[in-house]
A and B are shown apart, each in its own frame.
Chain A
Amino acid sequence: MNIFKLSIKNIFNKPLSSSISLALLVLGVGIISLLLQLNTLIKDQMDNNLRGIDMVVGAKGSPLQLILSSVYHIDSPTGNISLAEAETISNNRMVGSSIKILYGDNYKGFRIVGAEKKFIELYKGVIKEGKDWDNPYEVLVGSKVYEKLKINLGDELISSHGLRETGQSHDEGTFKVVGLLKPSNSVIDQLIITSPQSIWDIHETHDHDEHENEHENEHEHEHEHDNREITAMLIKFKSPMNIIQFPRQINENTNLQAAVPSYEISRLFKLFGFGIETLSYLAYLIIIVSGFSLFINLFNSMRERKYEMALIRTLGASRFQLSTMIIFESLVLTISGFILGLLFSRFGVMFVSSLMEESINYNLNSLKILNEEYWLLGLSVLIGVVSSLIPAIQVYKMNISKILADA
């Protein structure tokens, strides 16, 4: 038996009042920690997929949409741009390197991206099984796609038009799986990647069919060259200085749109940062309320337990030991509240992560303790000490003789 054990026994002796303070604290700490975790994880995930892309060029529309669709592959593209125009930009002396990507189809909800091979290098994609594509209609499949859809080497995938599962399916769009990619913890994990030519071919046939009569006698090659389109182009600059001038030039002088991912992402975080801030103020309020509830609990229990306090003193315990016991009781509650709060937030992260994986094929899983969470621990300890301070001082100043004489 010691003072610490006694504190714990006292807590368990009053499970109801203890658990209310505890639940409030768990809720407060849990919400804050969940927000911190999600914020960090999403930011990390976003930064990780940025891969030094300085600018994205695509069709006019919302710049955020352009970034979300062509860098993060979670929104619809703004439209298509002509290959010729894209090439004019990629030949500009300010451009260090450029990757053209194009969309059009999906396989069971996973996007099929036509891209230059540099695209896979950008995300450090490594082939686990099989080989790179050589011919149109050959595809490499990202790790999450083949894990989820149980795709094997050599399988044939019949694509659907558009980016949603419900799109009309192409009879012509049969892709052959020639390679599986290792997990890279980046966007390519959730993509099916093929050569740009594959996408062009599918839609070319379409156009060809539809306009057969009009273009009957036209020169095949010329026709193809004129009308080929891409969805977006990812650009790295030669010098970071160009990021100020070049996007503006494109937006003002061409009918293309240039968007800067880092800028758009910070704008996005500002947008939902407001909500996060409001929610965390609410959570801090809950923590403060839990402190009050803890204080009231201890205060009442001091009154109920004044005879046992007096008894412990007559057994020879010092004032200091008794006060320590009160503070211990409070700390045991707040520290376990903190630990349970962290557990709560980890389950929350896992839950949100599984939701995100369902809807946008994003996966968040890191359970490390953030620096801000150490601050939360500090806050919990502080709440524990502050709310027990007055009861502890009361016990310290207790007049045992008077209490015993009144009995």
Chain B
Amino acid sequence: MLKTKEVEFNYDNQMFFKFQNIDLNSNENLLIIGESGVGKTTLMHLLAGLLKSNSGSIKLFDKELNQMSSYQLDSFRKNNIGIVFQRPHFVNSLTVKENLQLAQYIANKNDNTRIESILKNLNIFEKSNKKTNQLSQGEKQRVSIALAIVNSPKLILADEPTSSLDDNNCSKVIKLLKKQATDFGAQLIVITHDSRLKKHFKKSIEL
């Protein structure tokens, strides 16, 4: 399902990253772990099609990302990938529900029952009509998970979802992510420096 080969990336000829090959089958989750500065975020952006590698190949769901145009990547992303960011981002002028509706609109979908069921599943349904800046940190994280899964992606990419959390919450969030992925039939790739997560994944690679 994901196969990378000899992926290289450099920022303005200053920072150079060469990533090890990844081979992930369908129905497998993956933990990518690495210290700061080894290019974790870069790798995640490459996998999400937000960046293009300088050389090598990234094959995701049998599509070669390096051969796609920026427009094709946008379209590929909205149909296949949900992203959970380290720090949750939202459209601040919209409510929780409207943020999810916007995500659906972008993917040409319109399904309020799905939004409701996701919010209920994440226990934040009662916050539907709140502006996102009225939410607590934990609620924000859950809404950002909701945003990542609202369009039924086949792959959820999570960037440092637990770095700022204590052990208890760390375990909660990762379980929640895994549960959402399973519930909605998606695969999960977590990229982190947080070694506490190792025990939650059968498959992991170290950068």
Contacts and interface: CB of A to CB of B under 8 A. Distances in A.
Interface of A: 1-3, 6, 9-10, 12-13, 305, 307-308, 310-319, 321, 400-401, 404-405, 407
A2 B74 contact: no
A2 B102 CA distance: 7
A41 B119 CA distance: 60
A316 B87 contact: no
Given A316-B77, A401-B50, 20 more contacts: A1-B94, A6-B93, A307-B89, A308-B90, A311-B91, A311-B147, A314-B48, A315-B103, A315-B151, A316-B75, A316-B79, A316-B106, A317-B106, A318-B75, A319-B70, A400-B50, A401-B42, A401-B51, A404-B50, A407-B85
Contacts of B41: 404-405
B85 A1 contact: no
B29 interface: no
Contact of A314 (B75, B83, B87): B83
Give the 6 A-B CB pairs with smallest separation, nearest first.
Answer: A316-B78, A13-B93, A1-B101, A311-B89, A9-B93, A401-B50
A1 B102 contact: yes
Contacts of B79: 316
A16 to B, nearest CB: 14
Given A316-B74, A316-B107, A317-B74, A407 B86 contact: yes
B98 interface: yes
Contacts of A10: 93
B92 interface: yes
Contacts of B147: 311, 315
Contact of B102 (A6, A305, A401, A405): A6
A404 B85 contact: yes
A9 B98 contact: yes
7 contacts: A6-B93, A13-B93, A315-B78, A315-B102, A315-B103, A321-B106, A407-B85
A210 to B, nearest CB: 83
A13 B132 CA distance: 12
Contacts of A9: 93-94, 98
B45 A401 contact: yes
Of residues B70, B74, B77, which shows the largest number of chain A Cβ atoms within 10 Å of its Cβ? B74
Nearest to A6: B102
Given A313-B74, A316-B79, A401-B45, A13 B92 contact: yes
B105 A1 contact: yes
- Residue among B87, B102, B147 with max Cβ neighbours from chain A (10 Å): B102
B74 A312 contact: no
Contacts of B85: 311, 404, 407
B74 A407 contact: no
B65 to A, nearest CB: 13
Interface string B133-155: 00000000000000100010000
Contacts of A312: 91, 102, 106
B50 A314 contact: yes
Contacts of B86: 407
A316 B48 CA distance: 10
Interface centre among A314, A317, A405 (most CB of B within 10 A): A314
A141 B94 CA distance: 64
A12 B93 CA distance: 8
Contacts of A308: 89-92
Contacts of A6: 91, 93-94, 102
Nearest to A12: B93
Contacts of A310: 89
Interface in B78-131: 78-79, 83, 85-87, 89-94, 98, 101-107
A310 B51 CA distance: 13
A317 B104 CA distance: 10
Q: Which of B48, B51, B91, B105 has the largest count of A CB atoms less than 10 A from its CB?
A: B91
Contacts of B50: 313-314, 400-401, 404
Contacts of A405: 41-42, 45
A405 B15 CA distance: 14
A305 B93 CA distance: 10
A307 B83 CA distance: 14
| Most interface-central of B45, B48, B93 (chain A CB within 10 A) | B93
Contacts of B106: 312, 315-317, 321
Contacts of A2: 105
Contacts of B71: 318
A313 B103 CA distance: 10
Contacts of B104: 1
Contacts of B105: 1-3
Contacts of A314: 48, 50, 77, 83
A316 B74 CA distance: 5
A119 B207 CA distance: 102
Nearest to B74: A318
Contacts of B91: 6, 308, 311-312
A37 B35 CA distance: 71
Nearest to B87: A407
Contacts of A404: 41, 45, 50, 85
Contacts of A321: 106
Contacts of A400: 50
A308 B89 CA distance: 6
Contact of A315 (B51, B94, B107): B107
Interface string B46-88: 0010110000000000000000001100110111000101110
A321 to B, nearest CB: 7
Contacts of B83: 314
Contacts of B78: 315-317
A404 B42 CA distance: 10
